[in-house]
Amino acid sequence: MKKLAVWIVRKKATIIIVFAVAVIISAICIPFTEINYDDTVYLPDSSVTKTGLEVMQNEFGAGGSASAMLKDKSVEEILAVKQEISITAGVSAVLWLDDILLPLTENENTGLTDALKIEYI
């Protein structure tokens, strides 16, 4: 272990140059990298999983999801946006903190303080 440490200390310039070259090569290759978001292309055609996914696609259509972040909004404003999104055509579900952790209601006790109580418990 000591020999390795001594070698790294003596060859630090070489190590830095090798890593710098690797970073440059990696940066040059970024535009040529293709990202495949469809993991089913790796499954064989005879796969039960692929068959099931095809049935779901044919029965229910293409699914999708979206995320939204709201900055500097009160709980009431967020609940209003949630309601507005949920009545939009094609939206099947909208999830927010009140669906998962807090039983928020639209009364005077609803507010950020309720969320803070959960956070500090």
Higher pLDDT residue, 77 or 21?
21
Could you give the number of structural domains in the chain? 2
pLDDT tens digits, residue range 51-102?
Answer: 888 888 888 776 667 788 888 888 888 889 989 998 988 788 888 877 776 5
What local confidence, expressed as pLDDT, does residue 102 receive?
Answer: 58
What local confidence, expressed as pLDDT, does residue 41 receive?
Answer: 84
Q: Is residue 111 part of a domain?
A: yes
Residue 54 sits in the same domain as residue 11: yes
Residue 79 sits in the same domain as residue 53: no
Q: Is residue 93 part of a domain?
A: yes
> Half-sphere exposure of residue 1, counting CA atoms within 13 Å on the CB side?
0
DSSP for residue 37: -
Residue 6 sits in the same domain as residue 56: yes
pLDDT tens digits, residue range 29-53?
Answer: 999 998 887 778 888 888 898 888 8
Residue numbers of the domain that contains 87? 75-120
Q: Could you give the angle at which helices 75-86 and 112-120 cross, rounded to 10 degrees?
A: 100
Residue 93 sits in the same domain as residue 116: yes
**How far is it, in rounded angstroms, from Cα 8 to Cα 32?**
33
